[in-house]
A and B are shown apart, each in its own frame.
Chain A
Amino acid sequence: MSKRTPGDFLKSVVGRPVVVKLNSGVEYRGILTCLDGFMNIALEQTEEYINGIRVSSFGDAFVRGNNGLFAAFFGVNYFISILHSTGKVKKSIMLRQHTKECQY
């Protein structure tokens, strides 16, 4: 794989199922619609997970992302990218569940 910038990576993730984990520990799982330079994020078919338990769901959701407030975005997206590039799907049970859930 050729050299990629973080921006290229993010562009490649748009339209894919992602997990957005906030610093508070809350997770939002959904399809990444778009994002901007502040890392504001728009998601579709969003589900909110607290401690791994689904708490609620939203059709669309806007997550405010600047100022280093809450949106820590990379953790799982990074894993998703590993998942796609190596095909090692068994790497993480949680992620396997996630990919199953996200085959809409």
Chain B
Amino acid sequence: MSVSSVIEQPLDLIRASLDERVLIKMKADRELRGTLHAYDQHLNMVLGNVEETINEIVVNDNTNEQTVKTTKRKIGMLFLRGDGVILVSPPLRTK
């Protein structure tokens, strides 16, 4: 049975991604990649082995030049509040 045949509502797509690596796009230009251990209807999630990517626009005070500064950090286990979530995607299935 293919994954798409099981999907009747959007949250089924998340359920199909349990215990898999997922990509989560968050507000404030942040991305999380990690293993999805649990979720609920608010998109609160528990993620393991997470890598967070933060993109910030930095303005140089002298030249007023804008550059994008990318910061990455690793987090072993994480509870994520769902209201910051924009998009969830299983990244490994894309390639």
Residues of A at under 8 Å CB distance from B? 22, 24, 28, 33-36, 40-42, 44, 46, 57-65, 67, 69-70
Contact = CB atoms under 8 A, between A and B. Distances in A.
A61 B87 contact: yes
A67 B84 CA distance: 11
Given A60-B89, A63-B10, A69-B83, 8 more contacts: A34-B12, A36-B10, A40-B10, A40-B11, A58-B94, A62-B89, A64-B85, A64-B88
B7 interface: yes
Nearest to A28: B87
A67 B85 CA distance: 12
Given A34-B7, A34-B10, A46 B82 contact: no
Interface of B: 3-4, 7-14, 23, 27, 43, 82-83, 85-91, 93-94
Contact of B89 (A33, A59, A70): A59
Q: State the majority secondary structure of interface residues on A.
A: strand
A92 B87 CA distance: 28
Contact of A34 (B9, B88, B94): B9
A25 to B, nearest CB: 12
Contacts of B90: 59-60
A43 B91 CA distance: 14
Contacts of A57: 94
Contacts of B7: 33-34, 42
A34 B8 contact: yes
A58 B13 contact: no
B13 A62 contact: yes
Nearest to A31: B4
